[in-house]
Chain A
Amino acid sequence: MSIRHGLLALLSQGPRYGYQLRAEFEASTGSSWPLNIGQVYSTLSRLERDDLVTRVGADDEGRFVYRITAAGRDDVLAWFATPVARADRPRDELAIKLAMAVTTPGVDVRQVVQAQRTATLRTLQDLTRVKAAAPAEPSDQGDRAWRLVLESMIFQAEAEVRWLDHCEAFAVRTAPAAPPGAPQDAAPQDAPIEETSR
């Protein structure tokens, strides 16, 4: 994870140069993840090596401008479409993914939220099955300790679902009316109005 995907998401909105990417990355993630410019350039050079971005010359102050390639677009769309596995540093990537989803044109935030919610609920179901298979009251100290660890994982997953519910409600409530040129999905929006007013 995933400065790389963050930068690609920003570049999918148009060509940028390094300092601009750093500023926008930090603004998008609420400055919860400060970057130094060296990280930005080393990430950009790896992206360039992997043909996910290309350098398109310099502006008049000699700063390199980067543009996303078709492969880069595919990569960032695949990132948005894939739920984060809870095993690897879940919260950071998820928060950044949602922050990026809100600002990236053509990404349906509710879809991103729902894919994650389903995945997290599956995790929660798995954890609950483990709990259900054990007796309601743990029999010894070892069982009790293990139960607490299990509960901590259950609470984390539960918190994530609650946060996702909140994000969805927030995104729906604050969505701008059809940003120009953004929606690729031309499906009629005939959802009942009452939903969006909550």
Chain B
Amino acid sequence: MSVLAMRDVSRDHGTGAGLVHALRNVTLDVAEGEFVAVMGPSGSGKSTLLTLAGGLDTPTSGRIAVAGADAGALGPAARAALRRRAVGYVFQDLNLIPALTAVENVMLPRELDGVRARRARREAHRALEATGIGDLAERFPDELSGGQQQRVAIARALVGDRRLLLADEPTGALDSHAGEEIMRALRARCDEGAACLMVTHESRHAAWADRVVFLRDGRMVDSTPGRTGPETLLDAR
């Protein structure tokens, strides 16, 4: 099942001579358990794609469904609720709150969801275990390496029922070893059923994805074939 379904999505900015087609007729699905990477030169529409997928912006035309709910059919409040409930974000800048421990950082979105503290803490511990840093739960961000901090951010993005993870250059300024740690963590979360859409300019990181799509001038110009799933095997017979 598609966790994210984008159909014929376009986004224009400006009007008249200043009109820019940031994204043109993009159709893209990210299935449960699928890891999709987006590559393209600066200004090709990668970040626009991600902000639209996350409901932080609305398309000029086309349809976007997240976890089966048509984002365009919802009012602003319902869309914000969908965004909080179903989507997690990982950015280049870690955005962990320095005064909170790792587990408190991960609990925060669940507490905002209205979940009681004890349950939120239990879920947060589970999410940290899943990204391989369960033993670091009580540390503060400045007591963690860059790679460990980013794994806290991934745990926070996927805590609770969040199924769609949107990542914008999640390896940022990390060295190649820490970058690989992050990719292993994302890969593992997808193998356990999360859907991940990641923007990156690093081909070595994009290569961890099941599928790499290429954007140019706001259009999807090519993609590597997806992983060989059961359907594909049936088709091949």
The one of A118, A127, A155 that contacts B224, using a Cβ cutoff of 8 Å: A118
Of chain A, the residue at the smallest CB distance from B205 is A128
The one of A118, A127, A155, A192 that contacts B214, using a Cβ cutoff of 8 Å: A118
Check if A128 sits within 8 Å of B222, measured CB to CB: no
The answer to whether A162 has its CB under 8 Å from any CB of chain B is yes
Check if B184 sits within 8 Å of A118, measured CB to CB: no
Check if A132 sits within 8 Å of B184, measured CB to CB: yes
A117-B214, A118-B223, A118-B224 given as contacts; is B203 within 8 A of A158 (CB)?
Answer: yes
Residues of A within 8 A of B206 (CB): 121, 124
Of chain B, the residue at the smallest CB distance from A155 is B204
Residues of B166-212 contacting chain A, CB below 8 A: 180-181, 184, 187, 202-204, 206-209, 212
The one of A121, A155, A158, A198 that contacts B212, using a Cβ cutoff of 8 Å: A121
A114-B221, A191-B217 given as contacts; is B203 within 8 A of A132 (CB)?
Answer: no
Check if A125 sits within 8 Å of B224, measured CB to CB: yes
Residues of A within 8 A of B202 (CB): 158
The smallest C-beta distance from B186 to any residue of chain A, in angstroms, reads 11
The smallest C-beta distance from A120 to any residue of chain B, in angstroms, reads 8
Of chain A, the residue at the smallest CB distance from B204 is A158
Query: How many chain A residues touch B (Cβ–Cβ < 8 Å)?
Result: 28
Interface residues of A: mostly helix, strand, loop or mixed?
Answer: helix
Of chain A, the residue at the smallest CB distance from B218 is A192
A128-B208, A157-B203 given as contacts; is B224 within 8 A of A121 (CB)?
Answer: yes
The answer to whether B98 has its CB under 8 Å from any CB of chain A is no
1/0 contact string of A152-168 vs chain B (CB within 8 Å): 00110110011001001
The smallest C-beta distance from A191 to any residue of chain B, in angstroms, reads 4
The smallest C-beta distance from B19 to any residue of chain A, in angstroms, reads 9
The smallest C-beta distance from B224 to any residue of chain A, in angstroms, reads 5
Interface centre among A114, A132, A194 (most CB of B within 10 A): A132
Provide a sorted-by-A list of 9 A–B residue pairs whose CB atoms are within 8 angstroms: A110-B216, A117-B222, A118-B212, A118-B224, A125-B207, A158-B203, A169-B41, A191-B217, A195-B216
**B residues engaging A (CB < 8 A)?**
20-21, 39, 41-44, 180-181, 184, 187, 202-204, 206-209, 212, 214, 216-218, 221-225
Known: A136-B180, A198-B42. 9 other contacts (CB 8 A): A118-B214, A122-B224, A124-B206, A128-B204, A136-B181, A192-B217, A194-B20, A194-B43, A195-B41
